[in-house]
Structure 1
């Protein structure tokens, strides 16, 4: 259980499957896309807690007002978990996920067949990621070993990789890179195709 509350071992596991720069780029695009499409579907729940009155804090846009729907609660749960794992990353991530939550609900409310479009985009994002693993990493995706990593840790991984590229916590980057190479050597018999 403590593993689930520790950033470094989860990041190392996930990163061992994602070291090639093109595959990281693919995931940096596709994982937020997957999160967004699921958010569109979760917006179908409607307002689950009218007493929260999210709409009081955020203005209506083009006839749609924010509500405490499934996407709202999903966003809160994910960000709370990420704040436990890596508070700085979660803080920087919050405005982006808030914008995603708002756009998910607006998209569902204003675009005919929004759920169908979200399905097409969702499937395409999975296909592109799997191809990225086969072509660039030469190995199966992390979800074949841990669905938790694919569904829960992946969005944080992508965001932290972007932050690392921007200079966030360089000492941690060096430390993690050493550990990632050790895990790759054990799992795959090699340090893998590196960045």
Structure 2
């Protein structure tokens, strides 16, 4: 599998192409669009319920939001707002539900959302999830990837003109490399 290009931590094209190479089936992409942000929200809820210091969830949400803003200011600003709303919503849920009920909500939501993700990969994508090849990159990029996909699908958004065409070629190359590697293994 081709690794993201040499731009490093702020290489939006490379990160998007890496993640996109694992998400080409439209049903799988739709599943991710529905369930990635709830995973983020309930992860923050878990942090609110269990963190040893009160501001841990806010710091986590701020790091994600700042990172997305650095990757692309326009979509990143929206992603940062979504991170803030997830932080605020998870804090309100934590206060309302308390630990006893809150952790059960987290458990059910996480199990359901992750199960749907794995069904998307196993049944529709027919490829293991990106997190098996790069855990940190997959967890960090997933919310922003699905937001960019939604913005592009419903509004034609691109971080810059030609972005989608460029990363689509990178994704196609990475998928071809993966398919060639798999065909050699099976022969």
Q: TM-score, normalised by structure 1?
A: 0.81
Residue equivalent to 1:178: 169
Residue equivalent to 1:153: 141
Which consecutive aligned stretches of 4+ in structure 1 deviate over 6 angstroms post-superposition?
Answer: none
Which one of the candidate residues 3, 12, 17 is aligned to 2:8?
3
Checking the alignment, whether the CA contact within 8 Å between 1:44 and 1:69 is kept in structure 2 is no
1:41-71 Cα distance to aligned partner (Å, 9 max, x none)? 11135794xxxxxxxxxxxxxxxxxxx6221
Residue equivalent to 2:93: 107
Checking the alignment, whether the CA contact within 8 Å between 2:69 and 2:80 is kept in structure 1 is no
Checking the alignment, whether the CA contact within 8 Å between 1:12 and 1:179 is kept in structure 2 is yes
Which runs of 5 or more residues in structure 2 are unaligned?
1-5, 182-187
Structure 1 pair 101/39, CA: closer, same or farther in 2 (3 Å)? Answer: same
Checking the alignment, whether the CA contact within 8 Å between 1:44 and 1:70 is kept in structure 2 is no
SS of the equivalent of 1:129 reads: helix
Give the CA deviation at 1:174: 1.3
Name the structure where helix makes up a greater proportion of residues: 2
SS of the equivalent of 1:125 reads: helix
Give the CA deviation at 1:162: 0.9
CA–CA distance in structure 1, aligned partners of residues 176 and 8 of structure 2: 21
CA–CA distance in structure 2, aligned partners of residues 26 and 71 of structure 1: 25
* Equivalences for residues 131-150 of structure 1 within 5 A: 131-150=119-138
Residue equivalent to 1:77: 63
Which runs of 5 or more residues in structure 1 are unaligned?
49-67, 191-195
Matched, 1:94 2:99: no
CA–CA distance in structure 2, aligned partners of residues 45 and 134 of structure 1: 32
Give the count of matched residue pairs: 171
RMSD: 2.0
CA–CA distance in structure 2, aligned partners of residues 188 and 3 of structure 1: 25
Q: TM-score, normalised by structure 2?
A: 0.84
Matched, 1:167 2:156: yes
